[in-house]
């Protein structure tokens, strides 16, 4: 039992530390997932402070993981671990079951529960990822649910054995360790919130070819002909190349189109740059030979205004050099035109899907230097680039291209 408890402590501790660190690295991304959960459960009163809540949860996971590893304050730690894992298991279980109902709307089980609980299967909020490990490791809700069930078993064992676990350090050192890791993990998460994730798990990383990431290989289909064997009564399927095998004993029944190759879906979805008239400018912009500075501002009402004042300082010089600048936002035409005129920004604003914008950079605004669809350099709103930064990034990129 002692060995099993020790193994459980190591697994639970490492998983909690890893999960907390991944989310602490991207608290804004984790806050998006919290917003989704609040929408599902109608917890609107918890909204508007999701990033702060994300930081608190990340810190709690890291500190609890360290506590269970080294045996710090196990009575309190075991209760907190148990409460947290029960809460997480409920969330992932609810989401997994809801997704199953959504994917199987005509199944007898779905119809039975829909009748009892009074919901419409196809109107259930569909969530493809639980957010347990951020964008680093994507788990489906059912995978997350099974993971949480496994952790629940381990944590129950730790909870039962909590009075037998001896700490590695004296009480005064335990307190100091807790304070240290709370401050360290909170500082790290706040830094990533203020600037950008230290480790970027988004597709828009330096060197990424967005043209390739937005392209998909379509599925390949072929026609199949179905014939009935008059002698055996069996239905036999023939593709075009096999029609020569037909004999008088075969009777045509039907034909069907089947997928022979599922293809490869695009890694980046919903990236369509549109102007006020709804025209798709994506290909034209990504194929431009000039260097482009994308200003990513998914919400103009809450964007950092100091960044735009900084931008105006080199805007004319940048454009006179033949380079381009485009602002991408989800705000409507009236809002971004009013914003552009109010702040005297002499560059065009285009519209992009909100989810796509949030998946580009964790900053509002964020700045991305592009060239022919390739990400050259990224900056957050708090370290917005000046002309010197842009020229340095271009020189480094071109030097690398010549090697």
Predicted TM-score (pTM) of this structure:
0.80
Q: Are residues 171 and 226 in the same domain?
A: no
Q: Are residues 355 and 228 in the same domain?
A: no
Q: Considering the domain boundaries, does residue 271 fall inside one?
A: no
Q: Considering the domain boundaries, does residue 89 fall inside one?
A: yes
Q: Considering the domain boundaries, does residue 214 fall inside one?
A: no
Side by side, which strands form the sheet with 235-239? Answer: 235-239, 220-229, 250-261
Cβ neighbours of 98 (radius 10 Å): 18
The last residue of a domain, from among 202, 232, 261: 261
Q: Considering the domain boundaries, does residue 209 fall inside one?
A: no
Q: Are residues 350 and 245 in the same domain?
A: no
pLDDT tens-digit profile, the chain (403 residues): 778 888 898 999 999 999 999 999 999 998 888 888 887 777 777 777 888 999 999 999 999 999 998 888 888 999 999 999 998 898 888 888 888 888 888 888 888 888 887 777 777 777 777 777 777 788 888 888 899 999 999 999 998 888 888 877 777 788 888 899 999 999 999 999 999 999 988 899 999 999 989 887 777 788 888 888 888 888 888 888 888 888 888 888 888 877 767 777 788 888 999 988 888 899 899 988 899 999 999 889 889 999 888 888 888 898 888 999 999 999 888 888 899 888 888 889 999 999 899 999 999 999 999 999 999 999 999 988 989 999 999 999 888 865 4
Q: Are residues 153 and 302 in the same domain?
A: no
CA angle 359–380–138, rounded 5-degree value: 30
Predicted local distance difference test score (pLDDT) of residue 401: 66
What is the Cα–Cα distance from 304 to 318, expressed in whole angstroms? 21
Q: Considering the domain boundaries, does residue 207 fall inside one?
A: no
Spell out the alpha helix ranges (H) of 162-320: 171-194, 210-213, 282-286, 305-312, 315-320
Q: Are residues 245 and 147 in the same domain?
A: no
Q: Are residues 383 and 295 in the same domain?
A: yes
Rg for the chain (alpha carbons), in Å? 27
> What tens digit of pLDDT does each residue of 59-74 get?
999 999 999 988 888 8
The last residue of a domain, from among 194, 211, 231: 194
Q: Are residues 329 and 226 in the same domain?
A: no
Q: Are residues 69 and 117 in the same domain?
A: yes
Q: Are residues 174 and 101 in the same domain?
A: yes
Q: Which domain holds residue 237?
A: 220-261
Burial of 145 (0-12, 13-18, 19+ CB in 10 A): buried
Q: Please report, for the domain that includes residue 317, its CATH number.
A: 3.40.30.10
SS3 of the chain: helix, strand, coil, percent, to 5: 55, 15, 30
Q: Considering the domain boundaries, does residue 172 fall inside one?
A: yes
Predicted local distance difference test score (pLDDT) of residue 66: 93
**Residue 137 DSSP symbol:** B
Side by side, which strands form the sheet with 366-371? Answer: 349-351, 324-329, 291-297, 366-371, 374-379
| 8 Å CB contact between 12 and 154 | yes
Q: Are residues 234 and 320 in the same domain?
A: no
What is the Cα–Cα distance from 165 to 68, expressed in whole angstroms? 9
What is the Cα–Cα distance from 100 to 114, expressed in whole angstroms? 12
Predicted local distance difference test score (pLDDT) of residue 55: 94
What is the Cα–Cα distance from 259 to 261, expressed in whole angstroms? 6
Strand 366-371 versus strand 324-329 pairing type: unpaired
Question: Which strand (E) or helix (H) includes residue 374?
Answer: strand 374-379
Predicted local distance difference test score (pLDDT) of residue 50: 87
Predicted local distance difference test score (pLDDT) of residue 238: 85
Q: Considering the domain boundaries, does residue 201 fall inside one?
A: no
3-state secondary structure of 376: strand
| 8 Å CB contact between 134 and 30 | yes
Number of structural domains, the chain?
A: 3
Predicted local distance difference test score (pLDDT) of residue 403: 47
DSSP string, 233-276: --EEEEEGGGGGG--TTEEEEEEEEEEEE--B--SS-S---B-T
The last residue of a domain, from among 194, 212, 238: 194
Q: Are residues 288 and 388 in the same domain?
A: yes
Predicted local distance difference test score (pLDDT) of residue 217: 74
Predicted local distance difference test score (pLDDT) of residue 210: 92
Q: Considering the domain boundaries, does residue 203 fall inside one?
A: no
Q: Are residues 112 and 187 in the same domain?
A: yes
Question: Which strand (E) or helix (H) includes residue 398?
Answer: helix 387-402
């Amino acid at each position: 039992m002692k060995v099993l408890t020790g193994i459980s402590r190591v697994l639970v501790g490492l998983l909690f530390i890893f999960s907390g660190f991944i989310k602490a690295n991207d608290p804004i991304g984790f806050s998006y997932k919290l917003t989704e959960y609040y929408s599902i459960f109608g917890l609107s009163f918890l909204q508007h402070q999701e990033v702060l809540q994300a930081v608190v949860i990340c810190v709690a996971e890291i500190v609890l993981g360290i506590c269970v590893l080294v045996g710090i304050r196990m009575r309190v730690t075991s209760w907190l671990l148990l409460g947290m894992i029960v809460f997480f298991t409920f969330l992932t279980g609810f989401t997994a079951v809801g997704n199953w109902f959504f994917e199987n709307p005509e199944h007898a089980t779905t119809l039975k529960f829909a009748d009892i609980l009074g919901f419409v299967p196809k109107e259930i909020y569909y969530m493809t990822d639980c957010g347990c490990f951020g964008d680093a490791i994507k788990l489906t809700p059912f995978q997350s649910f099974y993971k949480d069930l496994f952790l629940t078993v381990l944590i129950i064992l730790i909870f039962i054995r909590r009075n037998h676990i001896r700490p590695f350090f004296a009480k005064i050192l335990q307190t100091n360790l807790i304070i240290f890791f709370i401050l360290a993990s909170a500082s790290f998460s706040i830094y990533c919130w203020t600037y950008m994730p230290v480790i970027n798990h988004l597709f828009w990383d330096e060197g990424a070819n967005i043209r390739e990431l937005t392209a998909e290989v379509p599925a390949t289909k072929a026609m199949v002909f179905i014939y009935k064997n008059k002698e055996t009564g069996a239905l036999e399927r023939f593709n075009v190349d096999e029609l020569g095998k037909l004999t008088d004993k075969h009777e045509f029944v039907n034909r069907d189109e089947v997928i022979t190759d599922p293809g490869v879906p695009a890694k980046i979805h919903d990236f369509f740059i549109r102007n006020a008239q709804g025209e798709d400018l994506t290909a034209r912009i990504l194929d431009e030979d000039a260097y482009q500075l994308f200003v990513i501002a998914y919400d103009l009402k809450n964007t950092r205004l100091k960044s735009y004042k900084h931008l105006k300082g080199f805007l004319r010089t940048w454009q006179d050099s033949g380079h381009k600048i485009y602002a991408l936002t989800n705000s409507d035409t009236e809002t971004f035109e009013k914003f552009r005129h109010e702040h005297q920004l002499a560059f065009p604003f285009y519209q992009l899907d909100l989810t796509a914008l949030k998946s580009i950079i964790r900053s509002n605004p964020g700045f991305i230097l592009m060239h022919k669809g390739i990400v050259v350099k990224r900056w957050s709103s708090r370290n917005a680039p000046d002309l010197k930064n842009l020229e340095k990034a271009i020189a480094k990129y071109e030097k690398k291209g010549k090697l």
